[in-house]
Structure 1
């Protein structure tokens, strides 16, 4: 402490104490740097320091060493070069639309897309004079037929939300590249582990076919605990990233560094958890196929599931190449109250949205309200989606069995 410092009032010293910890501290977990205000050493530095290229720090919204580190690790995970962090997976979808679309443009969305992405198109985008169309997610020709001179963005999902069809993603991207339309993939299901979104055709080497943008709900597998809300937008194109980053800045998107710390802590175990979720889910999905109450079981690894061959061609069949989700369609002879009784009777499965955490979840859906038409490849009935956690598989199977009995009892009681 200098002579000047020692003359300061103790209350001031608590704020302006000169001690600085030594450098070269290394530990398994990185440090957490939280800030709104960032100090500059000189006025010249304040005028000239740049944050767009991550060469410096200017304000908390633009990043700290902690958020920069997560962004770089996520780029490594998905094979991208630039990453932006946003408060949720839905915010990632919104950022892409806000940045790339303007009045008079059109966006194409697969009919099996994540519902809130459809809601953005039907709400804010429509109000701003941006139109949308829904295309058949299993038909590249239908996608190409709907692309027009107004089409500026095509959303892709693999696998589809809730119904889990797996598209011919490579051909979809090729169609868009031929027509010079940007592609954005909701990659939450694949998570950078089932397949590489920027290298869909790895055999072609440096000219590999890939999406332009990958969005990811880090809330799911990267977090892994069901306690963090965060999303990412990743690109390989510097100009495209610059455009997205300016929109990100103008809308003041930011994430909390304690949440960033939680995701950084979970990333090293992500591949192991994804594989465990996958293995358990396949076991339960195969068991579900044998239950007469389920007229269809949807999971890309099942040969009878829509898009199985496309999943196998892109992801391979090894455990660890499919997320921990499967859906069933319950026979239409069971009315809604019986399906509700099934869901309510589950003890280990909790009724709740999201997935990727340690606790198994279940959600009954009204599919007819989510699609423009009932797809021919889906059986008629009530769809229920399961997210498989990290519980013992035998315990989850027993839970499903006793819930099926509760469904039978509900049906009998209503007769």
Structure 2
């Protein structure tokens, strides 16, 4: 497949970003700086240290060192319109840190009804106890979304595609409405990363990514990041420092290593996921394939308009079957592990039920004509796509034999 000039630039950036420190002319990768204490030359330099509120200068281990700075710099270069990136010890920590940066007691936060469940829980528990009112909205209904704003609405939390159910929404339109209303727009952009969706360039103020997923890529680290422009980046950094957020230099080194091959891995998993989505879509026992890359699915036109890439995460819904049948299918899988997370080199399967967590969006979709809408999420890894399809085929047969 022929690559565009833009894609070639991304591939080059993945290799060259974060390699501008003093180490760069000696070794390919930054050294792993394990240090809580940074030493000063004298009392005068010691007193100058606290005055610096920028990365790239030694102060104390909690503010990082060259290993973490290299990763943050690389992520910033990969996010169009970003002024800087803050690292967090997990994806959820990045979400919480970013939300605490933009809302306070008395504010209203709008949350997309298809957002990541821990995001929803944070809004309804931690933020609620802090005096922030959370209201859910249907991100596919621009009219009701605009009507949900009030004078106390200070921020909007988006996700694209939606968690588990993979709806694609019109991010530029949603962000524009938020800006017109004087609200900050945040997005969980973990599914596509900055390689597949330029969140800030499409109108969002803060782009959040769980580096645990595609960036790490090997299921061996926990980390998150938030990138922003000149207005919000300093505030994100200050809140992270006040919360004591810091990432391990060893994990930062692993994330940097994963970043170098992320483009190739995303290409492979996207190609495999598309083949598997087509295979699932042809089955009578599948009511719906939830994959925005698949032509004919809701949101596909928006995906083609706004995205420059995909990934290996998709879902599907079984037709007129019960939970016991779903469990037989998942339990019969051999190449798919059963577990949370995704974006690693290995394939995973996870059964899920949506109705208990929806607030305003209708689920299941009425056009599907199914009962409970029992879902299964698949994270496609680097295994051969044909082998994965054969494994799914055997699992469906085992389900039918139950």
- 1:51–1:62: 8 Å Cα contact kept in structure 2? no
State whether structure 2 residue 156 is matched by structure 1 residue 154. yes
What residue is the counterpart of 2:48 in the other structure?
A: 48
* Structure 1 match to 2:193: 191
The separation in 2 between residues aligned to 1:280 and 1:52, in whole angstroms, is 44
> What is residue 384 of structure 1 aligned with on the other side?
376
**8 Å CA contact retained: 1:108, 1:151:** yes
For residues 163-207 of structure 1, what are the alpha-carbon distances to aligned partners after superposition, in whole Å with 9 as ceiling and x for unaligned? 01110111111111111210001010111111211212xxxxxxx
Match of 1:264 among 256, 268, 274: 256
Once residues 152 and 56 of structure 1 are traced to their aligned partners in structure 2, the CA distance between those partners, rounded to angstroms, is: 33
Q: CA RMSD in A?
A: 1.5
Alignment of structure 1 residues 298-317 onto 2, 5 Å = 298-315=290-307
For 1:343 and 1:27, the matched residues in 2 are separated by 45
C-alpha contact 1:350 1:362 (8 A) present in aligned 2: yes
Once the two structures are superposed, the pairs formed by residues 91-110 of structure 1 within 5 Å of their partners are: 91-110=93-112
Question: Which residue of the partner structure matches residue 116 of structure 2?
Answer: 114
* Residue of structure 2 equivalent to 1:348: 335
Partner SS state of residue 216, structure 2: coil
Tell me if the contact between 1:90 and 1:117 (Cα under 8 Å) persists in the aligned partners: yes
Query: Matches of 1:376 and 1:330 in 2, distance apart?
Result: 11
Offset of 1:304 from its aligned partner? 2.8
Query: In the TM superposition, what whole-angstrom CA distance separates every residue of 1:91-128 from its partner, at most 9, and x where no partner exists?
Result: 00100122221111111111100000000011111112
| Distance across 2 between alignment mates of 1:23 and 1:330 | 53
- Is the partner of 1:192 in helix, strand or coil? helix
Q: Is the 8 A contact 1:40 1:46 kept in 2?
A: yes
The answer to whether the 8 A contact 1:138-1:307 is kept is no
Distance in 2, Cα, partners of 1:103 & 1:23: 45
The 3-state SS of whatever aligns with 1:326 is strand
C-alpha contact 1:219 1:228 (8 A) present in aligned 2: yes
- Tell me, yes or no, if the aligned pair for 2:196 and 2:310 is still in contact at 8 Å: yes
SS of the aligned residue for 2:178 comes to: helix
Flag the structure with larger Rg: 1
State the partner residue of 1:329.
Answer: 317
CA distance in 1, matches of 2:385, 2:294: 18
C-alpha deviation, 1:370, in angstroms: 2.2
The farther-off stretch of 97-106 and 377-386 is 377-386
Deviations 1:53-87 (A, max 9, x none): 22521101111011111101000112211111000
**Preserved CA contact (<8 Å) 2:208 2:227:** yes
Residue 363 of structure 2: aligned partner: 375
Distance 1:221 1:166 in 2: 19
Question: 2: CA distance between counterparts of 1:254 and 1:221?
Answer: 20
C-alpha distance in 1, partners of 2:24/2:295? 53
- Equivalent pair of 2:24/2:30 in contact (CA under 8 Å): no
CA distance in 1, matches of 2:343, 2:243: 29
Q: Deviations over 1:299-346 (max 9, x none)?
A: 111223221111111125xxxx112111110012x1111101100110
Quick one: distance in 2 between partners of 1:226 and 1:141? Answer: 40
Give 2:127's aligned residue: 125
Structure 1 match to 2:247: 255
2:24 and 2:290 map into 1 onto residues whose CA distance is 51
The TM-score normalised by the length of structure 2 is 0.90
**Structure 2: 5+ residue runs without aligned partners?**
1-21
Q: TM-score, normalised by structure 1?
A: 0.87
Match of 1:164 among 150, 163, 166: 166
CA contact (8 A) 1:135 1:143 kept: yes
Q: Which residue of 2 aligns with 1:34?
A: 34
Tell me, in whole angstroms, the C-alpha distance in 1 between the residues paired with 2:241 and 2:272: 41
The residue that corresponds to 1:360 in the other structure is 347
